[in-house]
Amino acid sequence: MWELIRANKRNSIVLMVLMAGTLLLLGYFLGIAFAGPQAGYIGLIIATVIWLVLAMTSFMGGDQILLAASKAKRVTHDEYPQLFNIVEEMKIASGLPMPRIYIIPDPAPNAFATGRSPQSASVAVTAGLLGRLNRDELQGVIAHEISHILHRDILYVTLAGIMLGSIVLISQVFLRSMFYSSMGSRRRYSSGGKGGGQGAIIMLVVAIVAAILAPIMAQLLYFALSRRREYLADAGAARLTRYPEGLASALEKIAGDTSPQLAAVNKVTAPMYIVNPFKKAKARKLSDLTSTHPPISERIKILRSMSSGASFKDYSDSYSRITHHKTIVPAAELTAEAVALRQAGAEAKKQQRRGTQMRQVGDIMRQINHFVFLTCLCGLKLKIPPNYKADKIKCPRCKRVLDLPKSG
């Protein structure tokens, strides 16, 4: 666990440095393009100031901004006792302090976690999620979010999201001002380029290219790391609940959902959610590189094929089996600790039991009504009504023709 957290912190720093580099370079080129070769440093300073202001706000209250942007409302134990209890259960399993709980009034099922540190973390779920999932499934989703907190993904997502936001902001402002000023007077950027006209044009082209490429680069970096973190949070959820089926069936329900797309969501906040909040029609066109989340069907398959246990090693084995990639779990976490799987919770078991009970009751009713029972070689149990007169019957599953025993 500690190795994973350390690796995540290291990755976060690398990503922050790369993004900061992109941001500063962008500022430098834009400064030159706006006001001549001497002004590169001014651009650099402006970019740094914008980044510092945004980073400060995100560090002090980024989670609050994100929650407000998603229209989330804080809830207490009395309003949603079950949700509150489930979060508390996962808090105990993970040994973290209790996060704040928010509900997003939206019918699309989704969830995210945010915050600066485990001490100031928040978990938000949509009303649609609460309505559709049973207790075990909700537990799986909450465990996934708690794992994001445990792995220190939340600070990274908040900081990287804000950084990406500022890069996008600066490029957009530049490109738009270029567009409008080229339509109107050209005074703005020709004033600095009086001395060497050609040099200024080259710089201008470089700046435009940088302004277009920088946001794309930053997004690719952001998305690449966030996909990996989704897998790891799934592994963490399996380990916390010891019941991968809960999360798997929750993901299945969320994927099969047909309600409209989550309303308050944008490119920057998308990677925070448990599944990509942008609907499939759009996501399918994008290539693997630009998607923020691993394919949901793959995540389900990996969770379902964890048959031997619920440790990180079991998840990693299952991951390699399904994707044919090498492991995504840091080597130090692959110790052979034995983590046994757990049975389904009382509610799911009750549902299962009710299913078999219904079938048994049905069989008893048929027996009373003189049905003939016949087990085919393929294992299917045929229930033949007494008014069936022919002496041969075809099995509906394997199409084998069976002889009926003569009754009486």
Partner 1 sequence: MTALIIVAAILVMLVFSVIGVYNVLVRLRNQVNNAWSQIDVQLKRRHDLIPNLVETAKGYMQHERGTFEAITDARSRAMGAGTIPEASKAEGALGEALSKFMLVVENYPDLKANQNFLALQEELSSTENRISFARQSYNDQVLFFNNKIQMFPSNIVANMFNFSKRDFFELENAAEREAPKVSFN
Which residues sit at the interface with partner 1, rule CB under 8 A? 81-82, 85-86, 88-90, 92-95, 135, 240, 242, 337, 345-346, 360, 363-364
- Minimum CB–partner distance for residue 346 and partner 1 (Å): 6
Quick one: 92 or 380, whose CB is closer to partner 1?
92
Task: Name which of 86 and 274 has its Cβ closer to partner 1.
Answer: 86
Q: How far is the CB of 192 from partner 1 (least distance, A)?
A: 59
Q: How many CA atoms lie within 13 A of 340 on its CB side?
A: 3
Q: Which long-range contacts (CB under 8 A, 24 or more apart) does 272-277 make?
A: 272/66, 272/112, 272/113, 272/114, 272/157, 272/161, 273/110, 273/111, 273/112, 274/110, 274/111, 274/112, 274/141, 274/144, 274/145, 274/230, 275/110, 275/251, 277/108, 277/110
Q: Which is nearer to partner 1, 85 or 351 (CB)?
A: 85
Tell me which of 145, 230, 245, 333 is the catalytic residue: 145
- C-alpha 314/C-alpha 333 separation (Å) is 11
**88: annotated active-site residue:** no
Nearer Cβ to partner 1, position 186 or 354? 354
- Give me the long-range contacts of 58-62 (CB less than 8 A, separation at least 24): 58/158, 58/159, 58/161, 58/162, 59/116, 59/159, 62/114, 62/116, 62/158, 62/159, 62/161, 62/162
H or E stretch including 374? strand 372-375
Burial class (CB in 10 A: 0-12, 13-18, 19+), 313: buried
Q: Are 387 and 366 in contact (CB under 8 A)?
A: no
Residue placing its CB nearer to partner 1 in the complex, 59 or 371? 371
Give the position of tokens 């709980």: 101
In the complex with partner 1, the residue whose CB is nearer, 57 or 367, is: 367
The distance of closest approach from Cβ of residue 93 to partner 1 in the complex, given in angstroms and rounded to an integer, is 4
**Which residues belong to the active site?**
145
